[in-house]
Copies of this chain bind each other. A is one copy, B any other.
């Protein structure tokens, strides 16, 4: 027998995520957040909680979106190698055209070292990406699309950790050609 929450919580989380993504955890103030979310701080504290809790929810939201993307790609009818190559090309596009870097990577270095919950969420996200790559590599090997003289688990680990450096490179040099060349080498390693 009382009123309901007025604002759309998932939309508010989305808006907060965008701010955290761009500025990072520590450089984002609560006013930055409530401005973007268009809610009062009392509403924030009544529903979601404090800044840390909000950040956890935002990181969770960020990784949820990625999870859905990987699941959709794995369900594709195309050949595993085609899905893998397509994914790499889209990753390059995101790095080159995206205004901001990857929120998962930024949060891993800035927050995961101090916040156990954020670390768990990002570790789970990383594990899913590994699984995504491992599935595609294994299937490609079984179908004879790529060479199979290396352990697919090792390749998945290696490739999974590779993107991170591409983000750093693009932050420092803003050279799209450099990223594209590395991606081509990346794919060549598998196929030749």
Contact = CB atoms under 8 A, between A and B. Distances in A.
Contacts of A152: none
Given A24-B26, A109-B110, A110-B109, A157 B181 contact: yes
Decide if the interface of chain A is mainly helix, strand, loop or mixed: helix
A27 B51 CA distance: 14
Interface string A153-192: 0110110111111111101110000100110011001000
A114 B158 CA distance: 30
Contacts of A166: 161
A4 interface: no
Chain A interface size, under 10 / 10 to 19 / 20 to 34 / 35 or more: 35 or more
Contact of A164 (B24, B26, B168): B168
The quantity of this chain's copies bound in the complex is 2
Given A154-B181, A164-B164, A173 B126 contact: yes
Contacts of A119: 171-172
A158 B172 contact: no
* Those 5 A-B pairs whose CB atoms lie nearest each other, nearest first: A161-B165, A26-B26, A164-B165, A123-B172, A26-B27
Nearest to A166: B161
B168 A110 contact: no
Contacts of A158: 182, 185-186
Contact of A113 (B26, B162, B171): B171
A112 interface: yes
A135 interface: no
A100 interface: yes
Interface in A95-138: 100-101, 105-106, 108-110, 112-114, 119, 122-123, 126
